[in-house]
Every structure is written in structure tokens, then in C-alpha cells.
Amino acid sequence: MRTPLPDYLTEVLEVCGTDSSGELAAYIPELAAADPDRLALGLCTVDGTGYAVGDDAVRFSIQSISKPFAYALALADLGLDAVLAKVGVEPSGEAFNELSLEEDSGRPLNPMINAGAITVHALVGMDRVRRGFAAFAGRELAVDDEVSSSELATADRNRAIAYMLRNHGIVEDDPQEVVAGYTEQCSLLVDVADLAAMAATLANGGVQPVTGEEVVPRWVARQVLSVMATCGMYDAAGDWFTTVGIPAKSGVSGGLIGALPGRAGLAVFSPRLDQHGNSVRGVQVFERLSTDMGMHLMEVPPPARSLVRERAPLPTGDGHGEVFELQGSVDFVGMERFLRELADEAPSESAVVLDLTRVHEVRDVGRRMLLEGARRLSLDGHRVEFVDPDGMLAAFPDGDSGPGEGDADGDGRPDGAESAADDPLVDVGDGIQARVRRRR
Amino acid sequence: MRTPLPDYLTEVLEVCGTDSSGELAAYIPELAAADPDRLALGLCTVDGTGYAVGDDAVRFSIQSISKPFAYALALADLGLDAVLAKVGVEPSGEAFNELSLEEDSGRPLNPMINAGAITVHALVGMDRVRRGFAAFAGRELAVDDEVSSSELATADRNRAIAYMLRNHGIVEDDPQEVVAGYTEQCSLLVDVADLAAMAATLANGGVQPVTGEEVVPRWVARQVLSVMATCGMYDAAGDWFTTVGIPAKSGVSGGLIGALPGRAGLAVFSPRLDQHGNSVRGVQVFERLSTDMGMHLMEVPPPARSLVRERAPLPTGDGHGEVFELQGSVDFVGMERFLRELADEAPSESAVVLDLTRVHEVRDVGRRMLLEGARRLSLDGHRVEFVDPDGMLAAFPDGDSGPGEGDADGDGRPDGAESAADDPLVDVGDGIQARVRRRR
Amino acid sequence: MRTPLPDYLTEVLEVCGTDSSGELAAYIPELAAADPDRLALGLCTVDGTGYAVGDDAVRFSIQSISKPFAYALALADLGLDAVLAKVGVEPSGEAFNELSLEEDSGRPLNPMINAGAITVHALVGMDRVRRGFAAFAGRELAVDDEVSSSELATADRNRAIAYMLRNHGIVEDDPQEVVAGYTEQCSLLVDVADLAAMAATLANGGVQPVTGEEVVPRWVARQVLSVMATCGMYDAAGDWFTTVGIPAKSGVSGGLIGALPGRAGLAVFSPRLDQHGNSVRGVQVFERLSTDMGMHLMEVPPPARSLVRERAPLPTGDGHGEVFELQGSVDFVGMERFLRELADEAPSESAVVLDLTRVHEVRDVGRRMLLEGARRLSLDGHRVEFVDPDGMLAAFPDGDSGPGEGDADGDGRPDGAESAADDPLVDVGDGIQARVRRRR
Amino acid sequence: MRTPLPDYLTEVLEVCGTDSSGELAAYIPELAAADPDRLALGLCTVDGTGYAVGDDAVRFSIQSISKPFAYALALADLGLDAVLAKVGVEPSGEAFNELSLEEDSGRPLNPMINAGAITVHALVGMDRVRRGFAAFAGRELAVDDEVSSSELATADRNRAIAYMLRNHGIVEDDPQEVVAGYTEQCSLLVDVADLAAMAATLANGGVQPVTGEEVVPRWVARQVLSVMATCGMYDAAGDWFTTVGIPAKSGVSGGLIGALPGRAGLAVFSPRLDQHGNSVRGVQVFERLSTDMGMHLMEVPPPARSLVRERAPLPTGDGHGEVFELQGSVDFVGMERFLRELADEAPSESAVVLDLTRVHEVRDVGRRMLLEGARRLSLDGHRVEFVDPDGMLAAFPDGDSGPGEGDADGDGRPDGAESAADDPLVDVGDGIQARVRRRR
């Protein structure tokens, strides 16, 4: 069979493709000469599968969509505090070409406006941008020299910004060189598949889902997504967040990306822009995807099933006791409820078996709560035993780790769990240990 | 055993409780006379369990925390467009007492600043606020008459705003009465348990988790949470969203709420305020909870395990075929991967069994993709059969439905699934049907 | 003969009368119902002669033209510092209905915007406005009750401002009453003759030129004229000052006044307004008058003739000496030059006669310089004698005095000079005296 | 004798010299190294006499005081409209280093802020500035190369402004070169005598009072003085205009100039600056001079004496008639009154003699009114005759002419008047002529 995904994505393009309103960016001939009817959509999942439909072969200059990625590189290289000292994180409520500098310090309000992006570029430099963007996209990106020199010829506003930034001590390098570099950054050629992969890297905690390379640390991805959520869509941030609810960034050449944390990266290309400078059909595609796929960050998912699938007496012959068959994700919400149930109706028998066979995920806070429950049951005189055939209890080293650390084979089961000796003991606190059965 | 949750929450309070910086709000005697050392924390899960620790018996005036709830009532009563015509959704980047009206229209920028909140109050009126807030909190709330009359005596700024709003035609009622009503709204007495329940109602798609009442529709809850995310923390919105990443709202009496979509509502009370007007220790508690509990909206969860747990030949005696044992959540991401696997490596045998026994959730988009996959397999000549002992395939009527609609018993399994006849057929499109086995 | 002045003024009206662009103020029916073609011009000289041509019988509400006069009353009653504590003097660069309050203090930027004018009204009250305006105009002014109640019904913006001012402690009275009073102030009925007389009072140092009453002190008139010069024409202050160069104030009913210090008050009435809210034809009339009459404050007058008309030997028989026949105004500039001539070419003879017969004015600084010159000549051994048939040397008590003080008969010669004994002595410093001949 | 002027000016310096508050400009070493105690005062009259006291030998860079003079050159070279298209005339209410560009056009608000001054410099170029400033000062001015290169090294803000201006199409030249030129302009070395002469040129209608050269036309001087009046003192414009009332401009090196239209130019040098960037003692000296010398533009001068000194019957033997002996200045105000007197009390006899012997000035509008009066008297049947021994009636060609045009000998009497034939006729309109007697 053929996977229906491309059909689904193509259908979305067809629905949104009829709108021919909006205008091409006109400040350089290269953008004004774009074919206004081009429309493409790319999607890249966090496990590295990419789809691209429509005019997906068209390459275009990345423009402002480069901003979040350069910001990510700066954060990764210099750390949060050093970057915050130069660029803030507050929405400006202004168009992208406003100065938007803090009154006294001259610090740009956020990295998604030009002043912030120029500052960020000065922090990392074009070499790092080239290398970093290649890591994000999973391939080398070329600079469109015509776009670059055309933009450089009309970059007076950016030069003004760069000199103002050096005046405030925010930028220290030669403003002309910084602007030249920033213009090159904006002229890197991408297609929707590239952008979807780049967005997916942010959605995937900084790990490029195809190459598996950790391009930036997990905390960097979180910071960048947060700033995209509040500052990514210029002066329409509130409107975007209420209607679409996906961290996003648009560019003047008609690109628009979105990142769904833990799920996928999305990219649309359609050159006609609305009055905010965002792609008209790009916005429509995102609205459609958000509604259809339930991707709004504030969309409340249907309540998960109870963590406890079944509470049953031990099978005959296993002695007096009770089995709690858990399912789904062992997280804060589920554990809170389970612990409450244990408190409300204490197990009547001496043996308590916690069966994790149907559990598919153990969050860090959930594991801690589970072990604390086991400790308290032990203190109450119960003998606690885990059934954990898939080794879910073996914790990730810490809450920030992602694939590649502790789960090199990507099967969702911590490394080593598969080959661990049967029936080990796990320490639940106060020197108390519980047995872990590796078979059901 | 005793559930460790209160201990955990108390521990957080102890860690954050030592900071005595910040100042009490001083503009009315009642706020200035608050005990600055009070500290309380409440949590209410979306399944209706509440915890409250610290000085949780203290009641205080709700103040600006009333804003999102009045906004929710206005949206529910008048619809989105009618409310948007009066109040925008863009962050103002300004302190709470700025006018922040759009230049020509006079429309307040968002409902979290005073101008917006006064407009919202005028739209719904105090009676509706009383009834609606009682529904959010799950109990009647009383007005603190002393706070109310004291605030009314110093409400000249709000009167100025209200007259300016009437001047622009945004408010039509008598400004004096609107301000009097709004002042009453702000003087409603709450404790952290109330606020946690109110926030949990938003987190739960508008359904009060204790009473089960749908206070506002699901889309209203999403809209309110979105606006809280971008406009809830005054001029520190970006800082809050990057560090805490939870939709929130603070009040001048020292309250601070947060709502975790689909999970829980949180509330802290600590009267000393920072320069933004937010509770000093309230912010710290939230930072702590966000880090500890992985509650940041942009926090990428560890990748879910593959939807396909196992791919195996049919057990002997069942004929030639292949079994795909699915697990976890059937959503877009998982289905995308599964469909790709089917495309990459087509089943070799005629029979295909899709076993949903270990699936704990089927999202709407996932169900559609699953059925489309079955359709395509059928067209390729396969005989498709589902194993669905828990009735997961019986779809929710639509993606917006929540508990109480189609799942009245709240067990996470759609109503009727439990008592459905065994082995029904499901239509997968093009007139093709697949058998659904109700036992494994 | 008939004086040609009315013909001249009528001619100006005819030239400017053809422009029918602009729009009537429409926010209350009374203003919208005005006859848009009305055009009138009034002029009142500082010696109290009034001219009024065109539709000079039409009375209209004074509106914002009341602002400088109420400001003058506040200054006169409370003193400069007390008023400055409440209202600044800086141009706002904004339209008349902006708030334009200083950021922290809430002090209105100047008294010509509504916020400042409302504050000023609160300082003086309506009774004082009635009495004071009657003194400015030389007759009682009536309130147009219909205009007043119509404006009061739509005064929400002013109410907003008044509450904001009380919020900042700038206004202490009940905002509703302040706005009611201010609205009455704006509804006082005037014609162009009234306004010309009021403006002439400011131009005349605070003394009503017809009644001779000192309505406000000289320093108040100077302060008010200064503020009119920089803040009188809303957001077109710079344009007005460069092209017309006359301190002015306009009102929404179509009035426009200008005050030429020391010369005259002018008033035009023509109801159609430009986008700044200034009378279209009123502005044109002022431009015309400024050009024709050389009234621009920065217009450099042709250089005055030398103060020394003739330097000649004493008539035979009067002994050895030199006569200096002075002419025109004995002011700083003239005296500087004369003293320089005396220094460059010292009188050769022992007697020096300073003949003031052709002098028509002695400024205070000029008198001091003249006496200092006489002292130095005396110290050099000369015998100095003044010829002063008109008693010009008898100084005004100080530089701030005006008519009515020391020149009650208004002939330009200080009182008492006329009846002084012939040939008195004048003290020129260091105990040196000079003879003053009262005949030529 | 010695003229007391220097003593007077020195006395003012002594009174103001004790204040040592304020701070030196510190952004370049050359300014920070200035001797903070230096204090100098210069005065130059419109007839070309200069005084300079205190540390008048100290030369300093002209800095922002160059702005009005470069603006004057631009106006003279390009005309008013061409300059207005690039730079406005509205006060900015902001500090000197704000951008203050109009929102859409990018046009600087006025030529006294840096953005406006840079634009003006680009319009004229450094060669024109050098030549023009030499003409204003009456001598070649040298550039302080150290100051210039030091400022150029820290001119990033100005570069930012220049690039922003080119971005808006306001500046077309290379921004780097424009800033380099502007920095040179600001580094021209002057002393207080130079600045006083430059200011005096503006005060004298554009004619350098020492050299007699018309540096700029009269209308340009008026335009520049108007803009200095409203925009010259940065964000303290209103405060300055109310208290001092003299068009002025200050510079960061401690200079401060003022121009008294028709009277004199003033300059103070004292390097310590207040928070607005204006010289502390410079401001004090101006306040003192304004008060002492009655130089406030809104200061109402004591009313001039009546234009009619005496009204008497013709001396016996001259036939039946009446003589009107006029005095002082024949201007609008005086003529208005005289014409009114003629209207109120018509001459009873057939002959009317208008004796101008004591008149020292005839303004253009006054001459027109005088001739119109003569025409009307003629029409009423009177025989009108002028006595005009000094040829005052021979009009200047137009109201804009100054010395050098029509009065080359500078005696205040129009050229040719002296040598005119006795008893010519003057045309008073309608073909009517009046005899002009050249002797009394």
C-alpha cells in the first residue's frame, strides 16, 4: 500500500490554494520576481520521516525564518545568560522592521525582530550559521548570491540598526560586516523539506530527527520554541496564538514554519504576504492543520484512560496479594490519581504487585512518585513487587535527556533494559527495595 | 498509606518560603494590612482531586485573577466575534494600569489589562459573574465589602478608563456602574483551593472537574488559555513564558494561578509583589513546579514508544496472515509512522490483524488514519481485521467532545463500547468493511 | 473722512473667503448646525479701538479659545509656581484630545490641551471664569445652555481625563463637577469683537485696552503669550510659528485668535476646520495679515535710524560745548551705539548737551545707560546737561509698569513730568548730578 | 570716556559665575578635558559692534550650534519647499539624540535634532558649510581635527541615523561620508565673539552686521529664528520660551547662542551641562539678560507715544489749514490711531499739512496707510501736503529690503532722499497727488 499522508497534505494544499490575495515582497527584484502561485507543504516527524507536497522542489531564501535557528546556535554556544544580556525575550507588538530597543540599554526586545536577529548573528558569525544550519537541515545550504547582494544593496535600515546596536555596546563587531553576514544568513536557500526538518529538530528537543545529531541541547530547543510562541508572528502574535496555537516563524519570501513539541516540524511556502508580512496561504494552511490535527497547544486532549487498568487479586498459587495493572503513561497526573486510590483504599493483602507490562512511557516525575508509593506501601507492611518486562522502571539519567542518551536504539526502552538480568531489585528509599520481575 | 502529594507540595513551599523580598500592594488599607508571610499552594487535577497546603485557609480578594474567568463567561455568552469586536488578544507589553487602547477604535488590546477587563465586565454584568464564578469554583463566592468599598473609593483610574471606553463606544453602560460592578468582581473572596479548581476548569476544557458541570465550552477554555499564555503576566510575558511556560494570571492581592491543559490547575498565594505586580514567591513556586514536574508547554516529552509493539505471523491455526500489535496512543504521529511501515514493507500474507488491545487512547485524527490504512490494505487485496476488546475504535462523535459527551462513565472508553455486540463490522471507506473482534 | 481700516480688513476677508474646504465640527448637533459660510474678523488695538467686519454679529461658543484666558486667571490667582506644579508648559506635539500627561506625575504637558485646561478650570472654578472673562472681554458673557448640555452629554473623554487627573492628585474636586464647569466655560458665547478685545488684553500686558482694567498682571500676560506661541496650535505648532509667527489659539467652533504683543488682538471666525481642528479660513486670514502687516514675531524690522540725529557745536553764545540731538527710542541697542560713539570720539569741549526733544520713548535699560554715560562724561571732566522738554528722563518706576501706572493720562509721558519744575537736577551716580532743561 | 557695556556684561558673568553644578560632556576625551570653569560672554549688535568678556579667547568646537546656520544655508540654496520636503519644523519634545522621524515618511521632525541636522548637512555639503559659516562669522573657521576624529570614532548613533535616513530616501549620499562631513561641521572652532556675530547675522535679517554681506535672505533668517524659538532647546523648549523668550541654540561643548530679531546676537560659553544638555551657566546668563534687558519676545513694551505729537492751525500767513506733527514710527498701530482721529474729527480747513520731521521710521504698511489717508482727505476736498525734510516718504522698494539695498550709507534715510529735488509730488492713488515739502 501507499501511505495516505501525502494525499492528506495535498488535500490541505488544495483547500487553501485558491486564495490569491496578498502581495509579493517588492523591496528587491529577486523577491518581486517570485512566482506568486507557488505553494508547497513539508512535514517532518520527530522520528525523521519527511513529506513534501506541492511545489516542494522550489528553493527560496530563508529570510527571517533563519532567526530562531541562529538564536538556537547562540544559546548553545554562549549559554542563556550571555545571550539574554544582549537580546530580550519580550514581544514587541511591533512590525519586524521597528527598532524595538529597550530604552536605556539599547537591548533588542527579542531575537525575532531584525535588531535582535542582527545581534544574534554578530554573536555567532556566518561560519557558525552555515555549519549549524546544515546540521539543522541535514544538508549543506547554499547562499543565493543574487538575493544576498541585492538585499545588501538595500540594507540601509539594517545598517542603521547595526550602528545603533554598536552605539549601545550590544554589537561590538564592524556593523557593515555584521549586516553583510546577516544578509548572507537570510539568503540561504531552502525548500519546504529543509524547513520542516529544521523545525522538527526544535520539536524534537534539539536532535535532528533524520541524522540523529544533537544540534542544540534540549533546553535550547525549549527556549527557542517559547520565544517563537510569543514573538514569532510579529505584531499578530496574540491572534496567531489564539487561532493556531503553534510556535511559528514566517519569512518575507513566503516561508512559514511551525514546530509541534515532541511531534513534528511543518513548513509552508507561498510567496504572497498579508499586511503583517506573513504568507497568506501559509497562515491558512496552518489554521487548517491546527484544527484538523488538534495541534493547538492549548487544545485539551480527551482525558487519558486511568493509569490503573485493573486491580485484581493475585492469581491462585501466587499467594495472598493484589495486582495493579497499569497502562499508558506513568506521569504526574496518572500517578497522582493512582497514589490517591492507594490512599483511599489500601491494599488488603500483604503482597502488592505493580504490573507495568501495558505501560508505554514512564516520565521522570512519574517514576519518582511510583517509587515513593512503593516505599510507603513497604512502610505500611506490604511486600511490593514490580512486573516490568520492558524495563520501563530503569530511569533515564535525568529529565532533560532525549534519544541518543540512554536510548540509542530508539525503541523507547532505555538501553540495557532489554538485556538486564531478570528480577533485579530497585531501591525505593529508606533502604527499602522492591523486586522487579522481568516477565509478566 | 497516605498519598505523598501534600508532602511534595509542602516541600515546594518550604523551599520557596524563605524569600521575604517584595512589597505589599498599598493602594487600599485592606491590601496593605495583609499578613505578608502567608503562603499557600493549591492543586486541582482535571479529574477533580484537590490539594491545598500552607496557609490554605486564608481567603483573599481575587483581584485581577478574575479577568480570565470573566472573559470566559463573555466568550461563552456572546461568542468569539462579538467579544473580539470589543477586546483584542494582543499582548500590550505594558503594565496592568496602562490604557493600552488601539489608536483609532479605542478597543482594549487584551482582556488581561484593566481596560479590557472593565469592557468584559460590562459585557456580562455582575450577576453573571457571581453565577459563573460559582460554577468555576464549585461554590458560591462572597464579596469582601470592605475591600470593594475601599477600592471603589480609589477607583479614579478605572473610572477614567471606563469613561474613555464609553467615549469610544466600547462600553455602553454607565461607567460609574460598570466600575462599581468590576470592583465587586475583583473583591470576590477566594482561597487557593478555589483558584486551583477554577484554573482546573480551564485546564479541563471548560468542565469543572469536581462538579462535572460544563461551565464554558471547550473552545472558550482554549481561547482563554491562549490569551493567558501571551498576556497573563503583564509586561513580563516573554520572561514568564520562557522560564515557566504555563498559562497564568496574577493578582495584586498576591494570588497567582496556572493552568496545565489536560492536566491540572494550580494556585499560589503570597502577598508580597515584585516590580511587575506579580507575587514574588508565587513566581518562584511556579518556576519550581515547572522544572520539577516537566510542566513547561514547550518541554518536549521523551519520544513515545513506537505505536507498533510487535509484528508477528498469525498464531498457528489462524491461517496465513500477520498481526500488528499496537500500543499507546493512536494519534497523528504514531499513525504516520505505522502507515509508513505498512507502505515500506507490505504484509506478505492475505490476512492482516490490527490488535488494539494495548492501545489506551485513539485520537480522532488517528482513528481516521487507521481506517484509511485498513481501506488501502483492503484495496491491495488483504483481509483486515481489528482486535479491539476495549472498543477503542468506536469514535468520539468529534474531536471537540470531552467527558460527559460519549463517555459519561468516564472510564476513557466511549459509551456503548462496553456493551456492543461482539465482532461487529466497521466501515473503512469505499464500501469496504473490516471485522472487529472484541476479544484478543 | 472715513478711516480705511474696515475696508482693509474687509478686503482681507474677501481674498480669503472663497475657500470652502474643511469640515464643521460634528460631535454635537449645535456645532454641526452652524452656517459654514460665516466669516468675520475683529481687531482691537492696545489703545482700545475695535474693528469688526464680515459676519461680526454672529455669536458662537468660545470652546478652546477659553483655555489661555482661564490659564491667565489661574496664574494671577495662584502664582506661577502653584500653577506649574499642576500644569507644564511643554508642547505636546499631539492632537487636542490626547491625554498628554507626564509619565509619572500625571501632570498635563501644557494648559492648551484638554487635560491641562480641565486642570486649570478646577483651579479657578466657573465663578472666577465668568468674572474674569467678563473683565477680559469688557462685557458679561452668557453661557449657551444648549451647547453646554449637548457637550456635557458627550463629554466622556473629558470625564475620563478628569478622573485620570484626580487619580494622579492633579485635580482634587469631583471630576463630574469639574467637567460640568469646564463645559460651561467652553460654552460662553462670544463674537469676534469680544475675542479681539480679550486677545488685545494679553497683547497689552494684561490691561483691558477699552476699560483700562488690569485684568491680570503683566508677567501673566507674558507667560500666557509664551505658551500660546509654542502650544496654541495643537500638533501644527511649528508650522504655525514659522509661517504666521503670532501667538494664537483656535477653537472647534471656528474661532481663532492672535495676540501681537504691544500692538493688537485679532480674531477670526469661520466654522470649517482643517485636519488639525483649526479654522481653514481663519488660518488663511492670519497668514495674510502676518505677511501684509509684518506681524511675524521673527520679522526683523528695518534698522532704526541712529539714536543720534545730529552732533553739533553749541550755538554761539552758549559757550564751548557740543550738542547731541537724540531721536526715536532710547533703548539698549541705540544707547549701546551712542555710548560707543562717545567712547570712540570723545567730546572735545567741556560742555555736553544731550537733547532729548526728538526722543519719543525711553526704555528702562536705555535710561540707565544714558545716566551711566552722563556719569562717565562727568568723571572725564565734562559738564553734562539734558534738554528734555517732554520730561522723558523721569523714569518709570520699573520696567514692568504699564499704562495706568505712572502714565494715567496715556500720553506716553510719565505723570508729573509735565508739571515738574523747570531745570531740575538728575542724579547720575557717584553723587554726580546733571541739569535738565525743560525747554529746547 | 570708556563705554560701560563691557562692564555691564562682565557684571552679569560675575553674578552667574558662581554656580559650579552640571557635568562636562564625557563621550569624547576632548570635551571631557575642557576646563569646566571657563565662562565667556559675547554680544554683537545688528550694526556690527561686538563685545566679548570673560574667557573670550577660548575656542571650542561649535557642535550643535552649527545646526541653525547649516539650516539657513540649505534654505538659501534650495528654497523653503525643497528643504521642508526633507526636514520638518515641529518640536519633537525629545532629547537631541532621539531619532524623531515622522512615522511613514522618515522625515526628521526638525533641523535642530541630529537626524534633521545630518539631513541638512547632506543637502549642503561641507564645502558650503565652510564658506557659509565663514560668511556668518566674518572669518574663516578651522576644524579641530582631534575633536573631529575623536567624535567620528564614536559616531555610531549618527551613522545609524544616516543609514535610516538613506533607507527612507531622505538622504541620498553615502551615509559614512555624510556623517564624516557632519562631524567636521560640528568640530569647527569658534569663540563667543564668532558665535555672537553669527547670531547677530540672523537677528539682522541675514546680513552680517560687520561685513555687511547678505549671507542669507531675510525670509531665511526669519524661518531659522522661528525654528530656533520652538525647537532650539531640545525637550525644554516650553520652559525656555516662557522664562527667557529668545530664539536660541545650545551645543554640547558648552556654547549657547541667542538672537534678538533686529537687535543683537548673544553667545555664552560655559562647559558644564544640565540634564537637558544645555550649559548651566549659559542658561542663567540668558535668564539674567532677558530680565535685565527686557529681551523676552513676549515682553510688551511700554506703549509708544501717539504718532501725532501736535495738531495745530497753520502758521499765520500760510493760509487756512491744519498741521499734524507726526513723531516716532509710522507703523500699523500708529497709523490706525491717526486715521481714526482724522475720521473722528475731520480737519475743518481746506489745507492739511502732515509734518514728518520728527518721524524716525516709516514701516511699509504705515506708508501705505498714510498715503491712503491722504487720498481720502483729498477726496473729501482737502489739499494735502507733506513736510518731509528727511525723505521718509520715499519708500523702500519693498518690506523685505534691508540695509545695503536702498540705504547704502546706513543713515536710516533711503538713498537718494537726501539729494531729491525739493517739493516733489507723491501719488496717493486715484491719480491724486500730494506735494512733499523737503524743509520744515
pLDDT of residue B167: 93
Chains near C (3 or more Cβ pairs under 8 Å): B, D
CATH code for the domain in which residue D222 is found: 3.40.710.10
- Give the pLDDT band of residue A173 (cuts 50, 70, 90): very high
pLDDT of residue C397: 37
Evaluate whether residue B299 is within a structural domain.
no
Each residue's pLDDT tens digit, C95-144: 555 667 777 788 999 999 999 999 999 999 999 999 999 999 999 999 99
Would the CB atoms of D222 and C298 count as touching at under 8 Å? yes
Q: Which of C157, C167, C175 sits opposite B164 (nearest CB)?
A: C157
Q: Which of D222, D293, D358 sits opposite C365 (nearest CB)?
A: D293
Q: Which of B80, B242, B383 to mutate to test the interface with A (most CBs of A within 10 A)?
A: B242
Would the CB atoms of D167 and A157 count as touching at under 8 Å? yes
Q: Which of A9, A100, A226 to mutate to test the interface with B (most CBs of B within 10 A)?
A: A226
Distance CA C76, CA C74 (A): 5
Residue C345 reports pLDDT greater than 80: yes
Same domain, B318 and B289: no
Same domain, C287 and C320: no
Residues of C in contact with D401 (CB under 8 A): 302
Nearest CA in chain B to C169: B156
Distances (CA, A) of A244 to B261, C93, C280: 16, 40, 49
Would the CB atoms of C231 and D238 count as touching at under 8 Å? yes
CB contact at 8 A, C420 and C438: yes
Evaluate whether residue B333 is within a structural domain.
yes
Each residue's pLDDT tens digit, A112-155: 999 999 999 999 999 999 999 999 999 999 999 999 999 999 99
By DSSP bridging, strand B432-437 and strand C189-190 are unpaired
Q: Quickly list DSSP for D70-131.
A: HHHHHHHHH-HHHHHTT-------S-TTS--B-TTT--BS-TTSHHHHHHHHHHHHHHHHHH
Quote the minimal CA–CA distance from B290 to chain C in Å: 36
Q: Which of A98, A99, A159 to mutate to test the interface with D (most CBs of D within 10 A)?
A: A159
Each residue's pLDDT tens digit, D320-350: 888 998 987 787 777 888 888 888 888 887 8
Nearest CA in chain A to D104: A98
Chains near B (3 or more Cβ pairs under 8 Å): A, C
For residue C69, the tally of other CB atoms under 10 A from its CB is: 29
Quote the minimal CA–CA distance from C262 to chain D in Å: 5
Quote the minimal CA–CA distance from B145 to chain A in Å: 36
Quote the minimal CA–CA distance from A307 to chain B in Å: 9
Domain count, chain A: 2
Amino acid identity, residue B371? Answer: L
Mark whether B and D touch (3+ CB pairs within 8 Å).
Answer: no
Same domain, C274 and C312: no
Evaluate whether residue A26 is within a structural domain.
yes
Q: Which of C266, C336, C359 to mutate to test the interface with D (most CBs of D within 10 A)?
A: C336
Evaluate whether residue D303 is within a structural domain.
no
Evaluate whether residue A125 is within a structural domain.
yes
Same domain, A18 and A141: yes
Would the CB atoms of B88 and A238 count as touching at under 8 Å? yes
Q: Which of A223, A358, A402 sits opposite B358 (nearest CB)?
A: A358
Would the CB atoms of D1 and C376 count as touching at under 8 Å? yes
Residue B183 reports pLDDT greater than 70: yes
Residues of B in contact with A264 (CB under 8 A): 332-333
Would you mind telling me the total number of residues written for chain A in this entry? 440
Same domain, D260 and D332: no
Each residue's pLDDT tens digit, A55-79: 999 999 999 999 999 999 999 999 9
Same domain, C316 and C288: no
- Mean pLDDT lowest among A171-185, B324-338, C401-415, D63-77: C401-415
Q: C259, C293, C327 — which closes off a domain?
A: C293
Nearest CA in chain B to A356: B358
Would the CB atoms of B89 and A296 count as touching at under 8 Å? no
Query: A248: helix, coil or strand?
Result: strand
Evaluate whether residue A302 is within a structural domain.
no
Each residue's pLDDT tens digit, D215-266: 999 999 999 999 999 888 766 778 898 999 999 999 999 999 999 888 889 9
Same domain, A347 and A204: no
Distance CA C266, CA C56 (A): 13
| Positive or negative torsion for Cα C134, C139, C144, C147 | negative
- Comparison of pLDDT for A374 and C104, the residue scoring more: A374
Chains near D (3 or more Cβ pairs under 8 Å): A, C
For residue C312, the tally of other CB atoms under 10 A from its CB is: 12
Residues of B in contact with C175 (CB under 8 A): 156, 159
Q: B260, B293, B326 — which closes off a domain?
A: B293
Each residue's pLDDT tens digit, A328-337: 778 777 788 8
Quote the minimal CA–CA distance from C253 to chain B in Å: 20
Q: Which of D49, D236, D261 sits opposite C336 (nearest CB)?
A: D49
CB contact at 8 A, D330 and D362: yes
Q: Which of D227, D231, D242 sits opposite C226 (nearest CB)?
A: D242
Of D426, D303, D304, the closest CA to residue D370 belongs to D426
Evaluate whether residue B188 is within a structural domain.
yes
Residues of C in contact with B180 (CB under 8 A): none
Would the CB atoms of D238 and C230 count as touching at under 8 Å? yes
Chains near A (3 or more Cβ pairs under 8 Å): B, D
Nearest CA in chain D to C411: D305
Same domain, A339 and A282: no
Q: Which of A221, A230, A399 sits opposite B238 (nearest CB)?
A: A230
- Give the pLDDT band of residue C360 (cuts 50, 70, 90): confident
Residues of B in contact with C162 (CB under 8 A): 160
Q: Which of B4, B238, B340 sits opposite A231 (nearest CB)?
A: B238
Residue C394 reports pLDDT greater than 80: no
Q: Quickly list DSSP for A173-234.
A: S-HHHHHHHHHHHHTBEE-HHHHHHHHHHHHTTTB-TTT--B-S-HHHHHHHHHHHHHHTTG
Highest mean pLDDT among B81-95, B275-289, C73-87: C73-87
pLDDT of residue A301: 59
Of D4, B166, B203, the closest CA to residue C428 belongs to D4
Query: B171: helix, coil or strand?
Result: coil
Same domain, D283 and D329: no
Quote the minimal CA–CA distance from B392 to chain A in Å: 11
pLDDT of residue C304: 52
Q: What is the largest CA-CA distance in chain D?
A: 85
Q: A293, A328, A344 — which closes off a domain?
A: A293
Q: Which of D163, D165, D182, D183 to mutate to test the interface with A (most CBs of A within 10 A)?
A: D163
Q: Quickly list DSSP for B199-268.
A: HHHHHTTTB-TTT--B-S-HHHHHHHHHHHHHHTTGGGHHHHHHHT-S-EEE-TTSEEEEEETTTEEEEE
CATH code for the domain in which residue D366 is found: 3.30.750.24
Each residue's pLDDT tens digit, B104-149: 788 998 999 999 999 999 999 999 999 999 999 999 999 999 999 9
Same domain, D115 and D189: yes
Q: How many CA atoms lie within 13 A of D95 on its CB side?
A: 10
Q: Which of D156, D157, D164 sits opposite A157 (nearest CB)?
A: D164
Would the CB atoms of B263 and A332 count as touching at under 8 Å? yes
Evaluate whether residue A144 is within a structural domain.
yes
pLDDT of residue D434: 84
Would the CB atoms of D91 and C365 count as touching at under 8 Å? no
Same domain, A90 and A141: yes
Same domain, B230 and B270: yes
Radius of gyration, alpha carbons of chain A: 26
Of B277, B243, B244, the closest CA to residue B258 belongs to B244
Each residue's pLDDT tens digit, C42-52: 999 888 889 99
Quote the minimal CA–CA distance from C270 to chain D in Å: 25
Residue C342: domain span: 308-437
Axis-axis angle for helices B114-137, B156-167 (nearest 10): 110
Nearest CA in chain A to D166: A156
Of D236, D200, D271, the closest CA to residue D23 belongs to D271
Query: C285: helix, coil or strand?
Result: helix
pLDDT of residue B295: 78
